[in-house]
Structure 1
């Protein structure tokens, strides 16, 4: 228990729990002692705005229930602390080619001597690459490390688009006002672990025989090492941008709101006869001496369409 909680650390005053309704829809909500009581207004307001919130704190008992297959209760973690620091960074990969992309990232980590751990997700159709710190560090710095690793991976393996890359945890540099930031499901949940999921695997995707011994030997990065890595990995070029949004409530995504405004502008002056564009994990438009990155080009994020137009 002490080992688990020394690695997977986040907010301890509140945690999300996974639910599934009668229609089969699933999601996460903050565990609250007042949930569905007479004062609960979950269907009208966000839990973070409720005046009757009585959030449960993480305890050994809560973690034990998560690890126990008989309980079948999955919980998550809000990685960003209230002072906008974090104890770990995680990269999320999904889609059919997630294994290829995750291994490419592990190879970059090996080249730069960055300790990392690969977890197969609870569904088995994706994975998380984890990085642990020996003290809380600013989320902005942690995310820069993630961006630097992704950038170097793209440089090393240009034929890999990292199309399966989804997001970083934490997914913001700062806490959203009144919110908790995005959440990540904790690994080693009892039920999916029986099927070889929600476990840590090697580069051939075989689970480690003794997961606890493996985790006990996981090295944690000190902040000076993180800062040095970010400097060394970025001094010869710019970082990929990973974008950010509040994952705690998908209805907050601005491009999904009714009546969202769209802007266009006329460009005066001469235009080039040809523009070179690369469609990879993002859209890259060539400029003189540099390239500009349009955040999260995938159409599912709503920023840029498949045709490349804003």
Structure 2
């Protein structure tokens, strides 16, 4: 620490360097902006700082959204250091950014009277150029950070649109274990959004506008109330909960894309997740609900730990009510104290999450002129990697779509998550009976960190009898959902009945390779394993049958 960093403030020695560093963390990281603002407003501190430190203080005030405070500091600097160009220039820039042209003109005139050499600088110091375009390069200066934050707040306000003349504020009484919302009868504004994401208040929006249309709709994935209230869940129930969570987090966006819809996934901050769908232009609530209900009806039968609901729940407004509301994202749940965040963000920092909104795609039924039913039958948007994988292993893709227990296990393999003994047993006792059993099972297990090719081959060679039945599979996975409905069955239900080509005669009788095609598939599988350890996997050719 240098002596110049120790300064007397209000009759006390203060380490200014440490203070500025801490203040910058509070403001720019979004950890505790309210405390940061409180410190920023302490005039006895900033008025005792050096010129450079005072300028830094003014920039931090801008980054915190305290523009009036920043102007006050810059005005004070202009009076105390009238020869300093940087203070004049930043004062002029901020006034132009706030569209206060008359004040900016007065500051420019005062600056030129003190420092005539600044004439050229003041003419070119505007935030935008003559055509209204933003600068190509973005500075790391807090002023530009504030400019970016303002832009993100505008995007947020545009995406999360609800009723035009009203929104709601959340309240919570933790002692009484109660919570709710109260209407705020005016339009939602940017400063409300800033308060919400800073955690000072928590707001929600009424989804239906006054014309019974929606710009935003939501699929709500909430933990079952009974599980939420249960303390000390059994290990098997926790495993089931995690499997269902991962299953839904992948399947809901996937099923949405099948309908031509894109969604943004958010951890809601308490007991579940929200899948946000944005429509531009707004669509009739009934049309949006119809599309999203196709998703929840299809996947709702696959789960027992979570409940899927579509919001809004009304097709149109009736009476004096506002319809359903949903808590806005990136705020703090007043009851749980947890902050929500988008799953596609790298962390929970609020401005990193806000940056996700720049890439969000809106949905439009008008682009194709199709209803949700027509969209479902039109071309399906599938991720290229998944499409390639599904074309190579169509049986596995079919089980993901039709068999919830097997689908959850297969998706866990694709995410490189270790399987339990019960899950491994289910894989071998079902897929092990298919004609391409070795190809399919190796394709799954080679995604796992503890993959052992010889052990997989050995366990496949021990497959005997009949496929594992639905009743046993549901018991092993602690699943409490209905069995799948099969068109043809002999009374014994098992997942392989989903396969059109399935016949009992397909059960392998020995570990011996029975035909050339199977031998080629085994060889290709071995090559796939070798490719994982090569620096350039393209050197290994595909085996053509």
Of 90, 115, 135, 2:281 maps to 135
Which range moves more in the overlay, 93-102 or 12-21? 93-102
User: Which structure 2 residues correspond to residues 25-174 of structure 1 after superposition, within 5 A?
Assistant: 25-31=178-184, 55-69=185-199, 71=200, 73-95=201-223, 96=241, 97-123=244-270, 125-153=271-299, 160-161=302-303, 164-174=306-316
Is residue 92–residue 129 contact of structure 1 (8 Å, CA) maintained in 2?
A: yes
Q: For residue 57 of structure 1, give the secondary structure of its aligned residue in structure 2.
A: coil
Cα deviation for residue 94 of structure 1 reads 1.3
User: Which structure 2 residues correspond to residues 153-232 of structure 1 after superposition, within 5 A?
Assistant: 153=299, 160-161=302-303, 164-189=306-331, 197-202=339-344, 207=347, 210-225=352-367, 228=370, 230-232=372-374
Is residue 121–residue 127 contact of structure 1 (8 Å, CA) maintained in 2?
A: yes
Q: Distance in 2 between matches of 1:90 and 1:98?
A: 17
Relative distance call for 1:235 and 1:229 in structure 2 (3 A) is same
Instruction: Pick the structure with more helix per residue.
Output: 2
Cα deviation, 1:198-246, whole Å, max 9, x if unaligned, reads 11103xx96487323321111111122586361236669xxxxxxxxxx
Q: Distance in 1 between matches of 2:347 and 2:253?
A: 16
Relative distance call for 1:162 and 1:137 in structure 2 (3 A) is farther
Aligned position for 1:46:
none
Q: For residue 182 of structure 2, give the secondary structure of its aligned residue in structure 1.
A: strand
Is residue 102–residue 129 contact of structure 1 (8 Å, CA) maintained in 2?
A: no
Relative distance call for 1:126 and 1:225 in structure 2 (3 A) is farther
Q: Distance in 1 between matches of 2:481 and 2:211?
A: 35
Relative distance call for 1:86 and 1:113 in structure 2 (3 A) is closer
Q: Distance in 1 between matches of 2:368 and 2:333?
A: 35
Is residue 259–residue 376 contact of structure 2 (8 Å, CA) maintained in 1?
A: no
Is residue 142–residue 226 contact of structure 1 (8 Å, CA) maintained in 2?
A: no
Q: For residue 134 of structure 1, give the secondary structure of its aligned residue in structure 2.
A: strand
**CA RMSD between the two structures:** 3.3
Q: Distance in 1 between matches of 2:260 and 2:213?
A: 23
Instruction: Pick the structure with more strand per residue.
Output: 1
Q: Distance in 2 between matches of 1:19 and 1:111?
A: 38
Is residue 98–residue 127 contact of structure 1 (8 Å, CA) maintained in 2?
A: no
Relative distance call for 1:191 and 1:167 in structure 2 (3 A) is closer
Cα deviation for residue 103 of structure 1 reads 2.3
Alignment partner of 1:24 is 2:185? no
Aligned position for 1:6:
158
Is residue 18–residue 28 contact of structure 1 (8 Å, CA) maintained in 2?
A: yes
The 4+ residue runs of structure 1 with deviation greater than 3 A are 96-99, 110-113, 151-154, 205-209, 232-236
Q: Distance in 1 between matches of 2:316 and 2:353?
A: 33
Q: How many residues align?
A: 209
Q: Distance in 2 between matches of 1:111 and 1:235?
A: 9
Relative distance call for 1:63 and 1:208 in structure 2 (3 A) is closer
Cα deviation for residue 11 of structure 1 reads 1.0
Give the structure-1-normalised TM-score.
Answer: 0.58
Cα deviation, 1:32-74, whole Å, max 9, x if unaligned, reads xxxxxxxxxxxxxxxxxxxxxxx233222222111113x2x11
Is residue 92–residue 166 contact of structure 1 (8 Å, CA) maintained in 2?
A: yes
Q: Distance in 1 between matches of 2:281 and 2:325?
A: 20
Cα deviation, 1:233-284, whole Å, max 9, x if unaligned, reads 6669xxxxxxxxxxxxxxxxxxxxxxxxxxxxxxxxxxxxxxxxxx959xx9
Q: Distance in 2 between matches of 1:226 and 1:199?
A: 32
Q: For residue 219 of structure 1, give the secondary structure of its aligned residue in structure 2.
A: coil
User: Which structure 2 residues correspond to residues 265-276 of structure 1 after superposition, within 5 A?
Assistant: none
CA radius of gyration, larger in: 2
- The higher-RCO structure (CA 8 Å, 6+ apart) is 1
Q: Distance in 1 between matches of 2:177 and 2:303?
A: 33
